[in-house]
Amino acid sequence: MANTKTVLSIGATGSIGVHVVRQLVEKGYRTRAIVRDLERASKVLPAEVELFHGSPSDPEILAKATDGVDAIVFTHGTHGEPGQAREVEYGFVKAALDAVQNRPEVFISLMTALGVTVHEGEFNRRSEGHDYKRRAERLVRMSGHPHVIVRPGWFDYNEDDERKLQFLQGDKRRSGTPEDGVVAREDIARVLIDAIDIPEAASTTLELVAVKGESQSDLAPLFAALEHDVPGQPDAPLDPDTLPMSSEPQWVLDDLKAA
């Protein structure tokens, strides 16, 4: 039976996004992508993908790209470049959520990062990446959309026999090195996609790593074992309070209230 769902990819030509798009197509989803570089997209994405050219924060493009979608998968990022986090890490998510605000059934798959609750480290002081990724997570939770928020470990640092997935919570691995956990890019994409059609995945936040062993054929038991996000609460239930709401700028609080 053909898959009847339509999924939009934001971050489609990135190192995780290309896996997301290829797997979506392989699984039979009607697949869309917003891309800034059409030439690159034509080289790395399957021909079946419907492309929308422009910025993922452009309301006109988003209105067209999200029309009739069942899910949005975010794998975008700044790679830690200073000065871009608010626009990219946060702004792309905010703009897309605004575009589907009147369609609460749209599923949101958001990739952030393991260690996203570490705000005093050198990486965040330089880039503000964790600040804005965490604010984007909060927007997704407060939006009321069914969602999964995946915080992957170090991309492709895994050995060939490290494919058994582990779902962790509480963001307790905080060294900022591969010792925190590793996972294959294609497995990150799989978790983001599989969650769309697994009822147990709705409203979950997890850290994703891999250990020695074969990949599980069914991820539903892993999702079912998680503590789920609490409706109306901006943070995941086991997260440390390292970015207190009381210290957030008023514009952030206003965005959360309007989500």
**74 within some domain:** yes
pLDDT tens per residue across span 162-217? 999 999 999 999 999 999 999 999 999 999 999 999 999 999 999 999 999 999 99
Q: Whole domain around residue 100: which residue ranges?
A: 6-258
CATH of the domain at 210: 3.40.50.720
Distance CA 84, CA 130 (A): 12
pLDDT tens per residue across span 64-96? 999 999 999 999 999 878 889 999 999 999 999
**1 within some domain:** no
2, pLDDT greater than 70: no
90-to-39, 109, 113, 230 alpha-carbon distances in Å: 26, 14, 13, 21
Q: What is the mean pLDDT of residues 93-110?
A: 98
Contact 185, 150 (CB under 8 A): no
Contact 103, 67 (CB under 8 A): no
Q: How many domains does the chain have?
A: 1
Q: Can you give the pTM of this predicted structure?
A: 0.97
**199 within some domain:** yes
49, pLDDT greater than 80: yes
The pLDDT, as a whole number, for residue 55 is 96
The band of 113, judged by pLDDT with boundaries at 50, 70 and 90, is very high
